[in-house]
């Protein structure tokens, strides 16, 4: 029997398949569809200090092999997540939980991470630095190594649990930003977040989504994600969670060969709610067909 277990640092996972933040809510809805304890973990919906209604609608645009979204970090706020969402999730999910934290200032990141760090059911804190820095003209934290390192250091100063920094692909040198986060104390890296995309309604002669541009995700971005996972895995010594266009067990194996220790499934969950379950069930068969006995043997095998 093949071994599909893996680990993210000291956190052990039964398998490497994790629904990506923003594509699985807080897990409760899907718990009514199938037993979500089949999952390796769950990266819950991105959380900010205050509740957010998100961006104006329409905020979703379909694309060939993907979609563009500009949801705008809609969430109930850190206090509601701690008091309601996480306790409710723990009733139906009994494995490690990854808390995804977003913010618009270094202080907000530190505040939210210090609170979530105290929650027993959270084993990894994932920090999304693709947000605009309101104190620096709106430039995303994740596009500048200095700003990325500043957020990382601030979060690490107020937390005890592993911190994974989720990086934006909308940069020139992804490895340089990952290395800056590692030097500032990051325990791991998640990548990639969405690319920046746009669709135009040619009949109405205006952008499809109200925010004009949004995050492009889905199967079309998978080769970009694999490339960036490989680059960061070569440049850094901390674990990587791969994300971006994953839609099959074969994709999981490819991402792990590039250097990922675990793999997040994002937009595919929106197309097929059973995507993660089907990938996990297919993974042993795919491994056997490739002569792989253990996933741990193939992590970063491509040099």
Residue written as token pair 């850094």: 236
- How many residues comprise the chain? 303
Extended strands (E) in the chain: 6-8, 11-13, 17-19, 42-43, 60-63, 66-69, 97-101, 122-128, 163-166, 188-191, 195-198, 200-201, 206-207, 213-217, 240-243, 262-265
pLDDT of residue 131: 73
Contact 21, 75 (CB under 8 A): no
Q: How far apart are CA 277 and CA 31, in angstroms?
A: 12
pLDDT in tens, 189-230: 999 999 999 999 999 999 999 999 999 999 999 999 999 999
Radius of gyration of the chain (CA): 18
Is pLDDT at 138 greater than 90 in this prediction? no
As given in the structure block, the two tokens for residue 182 are 């590692």
Q: What is the mean pLDDT of residues 107-111?
A: 97
> Could you report the per-residue pLDDT of 278-300, keeping only the tens digit for each?
999 999 999 999 999 999 999 99
* pLDDT classification of 130: cutoffs 50, 70, 90: confident
Number of C-beta neighbours around residue 198 at 10 A: 16
Residue 140: pLDDT band (50, 70, 90) is confident
CB 78 within 8 A of CB 100: no
Ordered structural domains, the chain, with CATH:
6-297 (3.20.20.70)
- 136 pLDDT more than 70: no
pLDDT tens sequence across 21-31? 999 999 998 99
Which of the residues 113, 131, 181, 276 is marked catalytic?
Answer: 131
Q: For residues 131-160, give the mean pLDDT.
A: 86
Confidence of residue 137 (pLDDT cuts 50, 70, 90): low
Contact 72, 54 (CB under 8 A): yes
The whole-angstrom separation of Cα 115 and Cα 113 is: 5
Question: In the predicted model, what is the mean pLDDT of the chain?
Answer: 95
Distance CA 164, CA 186 (A): 6
Q: Concatenate the DSSP letters of all residues of 241-302 into one string.
A: EEESS--SHHHHHHHHHHT-SEEEE-HHHHH-TTHHHHHHHHHHHHHHHTT-SBGGGTTT--
Q: Is 243 among the catalytic positions?
A: no
């Amino acid at each position: 029997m093949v071994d599909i277990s893996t680990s993210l640092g000291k956190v052990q996972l039964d398998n490497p398949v994790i629904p990506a933040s923003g594509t699985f809510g807080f897990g409760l809805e899907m718990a009514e569809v199938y037993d979500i304890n089949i999952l390796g973990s769950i990266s819950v919906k991105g959380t900010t200090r205050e509740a957010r209604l998100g961006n104006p609608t329409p905020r979703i645009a379909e694309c060939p092999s993907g979609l563009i979204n500009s949801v705008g970090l809609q969430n109930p706020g850190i206090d509601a997540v701690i008091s309601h969402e996480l306790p409710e999730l723990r009733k139906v999910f009994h494995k490690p939980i990854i808390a995804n934290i977003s913010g618009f200032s270094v202080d907000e990141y530190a505040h939210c991470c210090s609170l979530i760090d105290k929650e027993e059911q959270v084993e990894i804190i994932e920090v999304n630095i693709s947000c605009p820095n309101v104190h620096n003209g709106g430039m995303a934290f994740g596009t500048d190594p200095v700003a990325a390192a500043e957020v990382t250091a601030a979060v690490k100063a107020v937390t005890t649990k592993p911190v994974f920094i989720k990086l934006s692909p909308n940069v020139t040198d992804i490895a340089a930003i990952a290395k800056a986060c590692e030097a500032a104390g990051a325990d791991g890296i998640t990548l990639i977040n969405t690319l920046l995309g746009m669709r135009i309604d040619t009949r109405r002669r205006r952008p499809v989504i109200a925010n004009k541009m949004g995050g492009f995700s889905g199967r079309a971005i998978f080769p970009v994600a694999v490339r960036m996972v490989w680059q960061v895995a070569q440049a850094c010594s901390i674990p990587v969670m791969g994300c971006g266009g994953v839609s099959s067990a074969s994709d999981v194996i490819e991402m792990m060969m590039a250097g990922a220790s675990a793999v997040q499934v994002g937009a595919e969950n929106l197309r097929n709610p059973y995507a993660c379950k089907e990938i996990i069930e297919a993974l042993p068969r795919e491994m056997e067909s490739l002569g792989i006995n253990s996933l741990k043997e193939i992590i970063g095998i491509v040099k």
